[in-house]
Structure 1
Amino acid sequence: MTHEARAEPLAPWAVRPETSRGRLHAEPAGDPRSPFQRDRDRIIHTGAFRRLQYKTQVFVFHEGDYFRTRLTHSIEVAQIARAIARRLRLDEDLAEALALAHDLGHPPFGHAGEEALDGQMRPYGGFDHNAQSLKVVTLLEARYAAFDGLNLCWETLEGLAKHNGPVRRPATYVAEYDARHPLDLTSHASAEAQVAALADDIAYNNHDLDDGIRARFFTLEEAAALPLIGDAYQEARSLHPKASRERLTTETVRRVINAMVQDVVRETARRIAAIAPRSADDIRAAPEPVVAFSTAMQEANLLIRDFLFHRMYRHWRVNRAMQKSKRASQMVFQLLHGGPQMLPDEWRERAGEPGSPQAARVVCDYIAGMTDRYALEEHRRLTDPNIPG
């Protein structure tokens, strides 16, 4: 048995690869990988996944090579998701696939880019990065001759659509896709999808703490005024009194991550014991998510989010960068929507008439797939007469 081999069988409420509901388009059998391993591998090999390297969370790409990108974030989420899934005896491959795919629909410039596209798309149903992730893997990735998208398993698509909970008012594309390939939108997602969602929260807050300290938006001591971080900081400092500030930051952050993971495992075990599920469908039918933080950890996590909101996400340096990025996204959309003849050939052919709803959707997809760098370059090409198109 190798180190990576599973020591215990899957829990009865885990999604089982051998009972997957399959793919929209039938494919030949015989691949030695499980269906969820195949999904993970397909996601990793997409162009959308590679472009995450140059899509940022808070910092625009040129502000520093050290800060996290959507790609490094996705990898960190996948690591945390696998760790939690293993502890809970869930299918690690499905949890990992969902973690790796969850940000594929994010546009350039983080939340500023999303706000810009949502505003421009409001007359046409708006823009939502979760819906865009589903669109990427079911339509926009054109890698296979037999079908659009990646032809992922039903369970992977369900998890992408519902990892934040039941979808009562689906975005336009989610509703359109659900009409031809129902994803049971009004129920909860699998425990594996819920794990991926919690892993996202854990990675997001902790790694923004790390980046915020390194960017000097706040100090480690200021963050340590928060209860959970303070406990981790005091433990790290007592065990390593001579450690450098950089190492002390890393020791603190990894202790906070570990505390959150341990809390999720304990709280999930408590909720599982309360409802005694016998299958993955029992998890979907549960009255509330089964994978969750305890009340105390939820409160601590909200304090961290609030701290980051005021000290990092609304820092004047971030505000300046985001406002410039937002205006660039808006201008590129407006110019291309009114003049789709300026789109590259493969996009122009699908765009239709200038100013039309079809043109809006195509331009939105085009911009959403851009990296920060490409979006800024496209803005310059469209607005500066001295730069060749």
Structure 2
Amino acid sequence: MAVSERIGNGSDAAAELRAAAHRLDAGDALRPVRDRFTLPGDVVYLDGNSLGALPKAVPDRLAHVVAHEWGALGICSWTESGWWEAPERVGELIAPLVGAAPGQVVVGDSTSVNLFKALVAAVRLAGDGRDEVLVDSSAFPTDGYLAEAAVRLTGHRLVPVLPAEVPGRLGPRTAAVLLNHVDYRTGRLHDLPGLTAAVHEAGAYAVWDLCHSAGALPVGLDAHGVDLAVGCTYKYLNGGPGAPAFLYVRAAHQAAFDSPLPGWNSHAEPFGMRSAYTRAEGVTAARVGTPDILSLLALEAALGVWEGVDLAAVRAKSLALTDFFLECVDRYVPPGRLESVTPAAHEERGSQLALRTPLAAALMPRLIARGVVGDFRPPDLLRFGFTPLYVGFADAERAARVLAEELGAVGSTAG
């Protein structure tokens, strides 16, 4: 049911929409989770798709790590404080958020490094006789850069394609396919189950970039047979700026997983200091070098906000929030001033909205000055990320109202 049908069609749109937001917030089962975050006062924070808000548990945890584990225990913390096992331990916290059984997720390195490891490993799993790698041409540019580097290393040919073109482009020469789950610009959600099945039917391996879906919606890596996946942890997982990324290696592939970046952390005897490399068993083989302990343990504390949270409820609220925001925009903004480039269909929408206007570059700084924080993507997109754990319906109404006011102000100035 559309919001306008729920609230009626009276003349006072602001009063009606605020009343609707109040009712929706009052019935929001996730509303108490907001108190687990430190949020800037009087700010509507809609940039969690770039950097998540600060969980309240993180500062004290970091203070303890610095003062006690590093300061008092020093190097003994590798064993006494569990630093050495942290990449796998934190991976176990992320695993249920992406639909993975234990023993398949490890945390460390950046998304870029993990993408490179995953794609080269997928090509090596495919073996001889397959010389093409398909890459999502609409993905974040780094994905393409790394795919080019991967094929230079492996001697394969790179084929850029849009996700919708993948089924028709697959063939006996396809070794691996690298796809983005949610388009970082538009918020379009791609068909992970269907595309993974198509890749497997062609005898190839599927690698998914989950940067804009992990923590925003159910992913179902195990259920849908994904081979390898990577994702950052500083967006919807709220791990902090530059927090280490995660890498998923399906259990069935771990014995044959061949990383292009073998390091001492992935050695079967890391402290044996042997000149010959013998890979560790399981997902530990995906580690490389010494983990970034401060960021890793900050992430571990941040993941505590997910205790008792149902991802299905997160997804339901995400869709309700984005529907409500679009309804508010429709009520507040005159027709023709903004174009939503995010799909209207729920099955094709992530947890962000992208609105197109030629005034976007001038408009976003004004919104931020008014306490509505989103971001701008050239040449003409306003992006708004809706993190259901801490964004409410009143936030969505206020953001749409301020957007309409500033759009009118910028438009009159431009005119």
> Under TM normalisation by the shorter chain, which class is it?
under 0.3
By percentage of residues, which structure has more strand? 2
TM-score with structure 1 setting the length: 0.26
